[in-house]
A and B are shown apart, each in its own frame.
Chain A
Amino acid sequence: MKRGDYLKPLDWFTSAGYLFLYLPICILIAFSFNTSRFSVVWERFTWEWYGRLIRDPLVLDALKNSVIVAIVAMILSTIIGTLTAYGLYRYRFRGKSVFDGILFLPIVTPEIVVGISLVIFFVMIKYNLGLTTIIIAHVAFDIPFVMLIVRARLQGMDRTLEEASMDLGADEWTTFFKVTIPQLLPGIIAAALLAFTLSFDDFVITFFVAGVGATTLPLKIYSMVRLGVSPKINALSALIVLFSISLITVADRLQRMRV
């Protein structure tokens, strides 16, 4: 019996797994080009829904908010996360292992819990909910992801490079910017792209901390869906999927780049 035959059932399961993951998304994309408004029956191909989408001022407004939130959250979380990861890597201090351990906690905490806790926090300090609170919340949940990626990169870095830099006359700051950062750069960019994507796509936490008036794209989709799923939503979702997948692909490539 050939090895290939032996593996046949496994092949089948793998294909089924991927089908299960991607079929709904493919159907969603396909129906974003369908002329029929309500039914899920295919009629004719059209770009109409995309045209309507880009002429909808409310959608464009939500998109603008989403981009602002995602960019600001990306920049802040990347800076804070990178520096924190470097601090944990570089310095020995009491309770370091505890800090290392609880790094994952925010990642496994249910989003709804994070959302509720943040909204309670903002109400407690009497901070008005809006774009700022969304950004703060996004920075908070982006940081652990940034740290994880940067930390992986740090562990692959040759520590003597920093010593060599200091040996050649560079002080700590110069060493950090001229040697450490260039070594970490692929990891930092990957982390930034992931942070952007996570922030751009987030619904649950944003839902809690958005307040009135500050609507991001996922929130807008949700409110549109409540009036019924239209091909316009399909079109919008298709665009978001495409955008997210390309960002993640780039991030993945960068992360694999060798030091």
Chain B
Amino acid sequence: MEFTVELNRVTKKFGDVVAADNVSLQIGRGEFFSLLGPSGCGKTTTLRLIAGFEEPTEGEIFINNENVRDKRPYERDVNTVFQSYALFPHLTVAGNIAFGLERKKTPRHEMGRLIEEALDLVRLKGMGDRYPRQLSGGQQQRVALARALVLKPEVLLLDEPLGALDLKLRKEMQLELKSLQEKVGITFIYVTHDQEEALTMSDRIAVMERGRLEQVGTPEEIYEFPKTRFVADFIGVSNFFSGQVIRAEGETLLVRTDGNLDVTLPLDHGFTEGQRVQFSIRPEKFSVGPQGKGRDGENELVGEIANRIYLGGSIHYVIALSAEEKVTVFLKNERTAGQQPSFSVGERVTVSWHRDDSVILGD
């Protein structure tokens, strides 16, 4: 695979604070890559390192296979869409878009055409004469996008570009950004703290926490097979268990949880008898009923419904399996005429799930 951006053991310290800790990343050409994490996790710092606004304390950054150690931001073939948009208030929309083209010494006649094309691309035709303050938040966001895209960079860096927009507009812009990225075909590196946004738009996601990369993978990998407790917790909802390995048996690992429940996990050769193990199960992986499906590898436990939240399309239950262990279960609302397969608080039910739906977590 061809990489447009590569980070090799990059560390950035601000005094004693380690904002990025030994980060290594390889981002492919044309990829929509997201840096996801809570605020202060180092995602913006990583982006700023790539843009050239910060210099790494250690490590190397490559853009198009070229080490950019001594390159100033204006010498790098990347452009940024800032969270605050950072539109020049003293220039019109067209003036803002022209700013980068002028630096590139683009001929006048060509510039007019490129600006028109860029405005067209972000659906702001005819707005070239307005000033940024005369535009709405969403429109300003598009101008910021057009200003960067008109330069046809190898890589576009986006720092929470939708953060300031209201929810409805956000959703619209997410889809629009994604289709725009597919249309122009350039690499997007997208910083966000919104897991749903990252899952919706990205080809791959890097989850960051306290300056470190927790996991890099496709949205599906990240959601279905989180590697650490942090990832399982940050993305979606997870039920966590910890316990002790009893023994390995064929394809399974037999585990007794701290709440004294015996369950099976997929075999992992890293574990031996008596070792502590931590695992998680997504709430929609459970089935609830009088009895399990009786599939091979199915875990079946009896529990009591402790809480029920009706959400229309789905119903969320909290089910107590033991004194300390409760699981959150999402069930589809399957009510049809004459049938009402729903449970009420206090009812005793059988909770079942396949052992392969349990994900063993690292630290």
Query: Chain A interface (Cβ within 8 Å of chain B)?
Result: 158, 160-161, 163-171, 174, 178-179, 182-183, 259
Q: A161-B88, A179-B88, A182-B90 are in contact. Are A167 and B51 (CB under 8 A)?
A: yes
B28 interface residue, CB < 8 Å from A? no
Q: Is the CB of A170 within 8 A of B74?
A: yes
**Set A163, A171, A178, A183: member contacting B82, Cβ < 8 A:** A163
A259 to B74, CA, bound (A): 25
A182 to B79, CA, bound (A): 22
Query: Chain B interface (Cβ within 8 Å of chain A)?
Result: 51-53, 72-74, 78-80, 82, 84, 86-90, 99-100, 103-104, 147-148, 151
A-B contact pairs, 29 of them (CB 8 A): A158-B84, A160-B82, A160-B84, A163-B51, A163-B53, A163-B73, A163-B82, A163-B86, A164-B82, A164-B86, A164-B88, A165-B88, A166-B53, A167-B51, A167-B148, A168-B74, A168-B79, A168-B147, A168-B148, A169-B103, A169-B104, A169-B151, A170-B103, A171-B72, A174-B103, A178-B99, A179-B88, A182-B88, A183-B90
Q: Is the CB of A164 within 8 A of B103?
A: no
- Nearest residue, chain A, Cβ from B133: A258
**Set A169, A179, A182: member contacting B100, Cβ < 8 A:** A169
A82 to B70, CA, bound (A): 30
Min CB–CB distance A143 → chain B (angstroms): 26
Q: A160-B82, A163-B73 are in contact. Are A168 and B89 (CB under 8 A)?
A: no
A170 to B52, CA, bound (A): 13
Q: A174-B103, A183-B90, A259-B89 are in contact. Are A166 and B73 (CB under 8 A)?
A: yes
Q: Is the CB of B90 within 8 A of A168?
A: no
A166 to B54, CA, bound (A): 13
Question: Is the contact region of chain A dominated by helix, strand, or loop, or is it mixed?
Answer: helix
- Nearest residue, chain B, Cβ from A161: B86
**Set B53, B74, B88, B90: member contacting A169, Cβ < 8 A:** B74
A259 to B80, CA, bound (A): 22
Min CB–CB distance A177 → chain B (angstroms): 12
Return chain B residues, CB-CB under 8 Å to A165: 88, 99
- Nearest residue, chain B, Cβ from A166: B73
Min CB–CB distance B114 → chain A (angstroms): 14
- Nearest residue, chain B, Cβ from A160: B86
Q: A179-B88, A183-B90 are in contact. Are A164 and B80 (CB under 8 A)?
A: yes
Return chain B residues, CB-CB under 8 Å to A259: 89
Having A164-B82, A167-B74, one finds 18 other A-B pairs with CB under 8 Å, namely: A163-B51, A163-B53, A163-B86, A164-B80, A164-B87, A164-B88, A165-B99, A166-B74, A167-B53, A167-B73, A167-B78, A168-B103, A171-B72, A174-B103, A179-B88, A182-B88, A183-B89, A183-B90
